[in-house]
C-alpha cells in the first residue's frame, strides 16, 4: 500500500499500538523535541538571514538555535543513508532537517502520526520569480524518500509562518520484515533563503499480530543494534567458510 496521506483507520481489537518517544530519535539540523517526547518541530532555516526579505529574523523561524544542515558532501543524505538524488524531489535540495530511528517491523505494521506543514514560500512580499519553490516534508521508510507535503497544501494563514496546513493525519503500511531506518524531515528546494517547517506528533506503531518474541515493534537500542550486526556478520562469515570447504 505505502503512504496514505490524510487517512486514519481505527485499530481493531486485535491491534496493539506503541507510542514512539521522539526524544530517543537521532537529530540533524534544526530540531526541537518537547519534554514529553510526543512532538518534534523541524525547519529549513539555516541561520543566515534566510527570511530577511520578509523583514523577519531567523529566530522567528528556527526552533532550536541550530542551523538546518546542507544536502550533499556528507550532509543530510548521509544522515539518512540515502543517495543524494533521492532528496531532489521536484527541484534541487539545498538544506534541511530530519529525525530518524531504527525500528523492527513486519509487513502490515502501520506507522501513524499527525503532522502540520508551514512555509514562507507563499508570501506576497517576495519578488516575483523567487517563489514559490517546492520545499517539502518527507517520510523515509522501506528505503525510500516519500514526500507528503509542500506549499500547495498550505492554504491557511499563519501567525508563525506565512501559511500553514491544517493538522493532518498520515499512515504508512510497512512492506518488509526488517530492522530499518525510519525518518521524518523537511527540505529547502531550489533556494536556501526562504524557510519552511514541519511539526509531527502522536507518532505510533500499530501491529495486527505479535511478531516473533511477542513484542510490538519498537525502537532498536543502539547497543542491541550493534549486537545484531555482529551476529549477522559472524553468520555470513561462517556460511562463506563452509562453502569454501565444500568446494
Q: What is the pLDDT of residue 53?
A: 87
Q: What is the pLDDT of residue 242?
A: 38
Q: What is the pLDDT of residue 45?
A: 97
Q: Whole-angstrom Cα distance, residue 184 to residue 26?
A: 11
Range in 1-15, 53-67, 151-165 the model is least confident about: 1-15
Q: Whole-angstrom Cα distance, residue 19 to residue 204?
A: 4
Answer whether 0.85 is exceeded by the pTM: no
Q: What is the pLDDT of residue 129?
A: 76
In b/e form, how buried is each residue of 145-162, taking b as 16+ CB within 10 angstroms? Answer: bbbbbbbebbeeeeeebb
Range in 24-28, 130-134, 178-182 the model is least confident about: 130-134
Q: Whole-angstrom Cα distance, residue 26 to residue 177?
A: 22
pLDDT in tens, 95-123: 999 999 999 999 999 999 999 999 999 99
Q: What is the pLDDT of residue 7?
A: 34
Nearest CA among 189, 188, 203, 152 for reference residue 62? 188
**Better-predicted residue by pLDDT, 109 or 231:** 109
Q: What is the pLDDT of residue 3?
A: 53
- Confidence band (pLDDT; 50, 70, 90) for 221? low
Contacts of 226 (CB under 8 A, 6+ apart): none
**Better-predicted residue by pLDDT, 104 or 214:** 104
What mean pLDDT do residues 135-152 have? 97
Q: What is the pLDDT of residue 159?
A: 86
Question: How much is the mean pLDDT over the chain?
Answer: 84
Q: What is the pLDDT of residue 215?
A: 46
Residue 247 has pLDDT above 90, yes or no: no
What mean pLDDT do residues 110-139 have? 93
Nearest CA among 150, 143, 22, 152 for reference residue 93? 150
Share of the chain above pLDDT 90, in %: 68
Q: What is the pLDDT of residue 17?
A: 85
What mean pLDDT do residues 144-160 have? 95
- Confidence band (pLDDT; 50, 70, 90) for 243? very low
13 half-sphere exposure, CB direction, 13 A CA radius: 0
Q: Whole-angstrom Cα distance, residue 38 to residue 20?
A: 8
CB 18 within 8 A of CB 216: yes
**Better-predicted residue by pLDDT, 136 or 176:** 136
Amino acid at each position: 500500500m505505502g503512504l496514505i496521506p490524510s487517512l486514519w483507520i481505527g485499530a481493531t481489537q486485535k491491534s496493539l499500538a506503541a507510542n514512539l518517544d521522539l526524544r530517543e530519535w537521532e537529530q540533524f539540523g534544526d530540531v526541537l523535541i518537547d519534554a514529553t517526547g510526543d512532538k518534534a518541530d523541524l525547519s529549513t532555516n539555516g541561520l543566515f538571514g534566510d527570511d530577511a526579505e520578509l523583514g523577519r529574523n531567523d529566530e522567528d523561524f528556527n526552533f532550536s538555535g541550530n542551523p538546518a544542515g546542507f544536502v550533499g558532501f556528507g550532509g543530510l543524505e548521509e544522515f539518512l543513508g540515502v543517495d543524494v538524488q533521492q532528496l531532489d524531489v521536484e527541484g534541487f535540495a539545498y538544506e534541511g532537517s530530519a529525525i530518524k530511528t531504527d525500528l523492527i517491523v513486519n509487513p502490515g505494521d502501520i506507522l501513524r502520526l499527525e503532522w502540520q506543514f508551514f512555509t514562507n514560500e507563499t508570501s506576497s512580499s517576495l519578488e516575483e520569480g523567487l517563489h514559490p519553490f517546492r520545499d517539502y516534508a518527507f517520510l523515509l521508510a522501506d528505503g525510500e524518500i516519500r514526500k507528503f507535503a509542500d506549499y500547495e497544501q498550505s492554504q491557511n494563514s499563519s501567525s508563525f509562518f506565512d501559511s500553514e496546513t491544517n493538522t493532518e493525519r498520515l499512515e504508512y503500511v510497512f512492506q518488509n520484515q526488517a530492522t530499518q531506518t525510519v525518518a521524518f524531515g523537511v527540505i529547502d528546494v531550489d533556494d536556501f533563503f526562504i524557510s519552511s517547517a514541519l511539526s509531527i506528533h502522536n507518532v505510533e506503531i500499530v501491529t495486527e499480530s505479535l511478531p516473533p518474541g511477542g513484542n510490538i515493534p519498537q525502537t532498536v537500542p543502539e547497543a542491541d543494534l550493534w549486537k545484531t550486526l555482529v551476529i549477522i556478520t559472524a553468520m555470513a562469515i561462517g556460511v562463506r567458510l563452509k562453502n569454501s570447504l565444500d568446494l
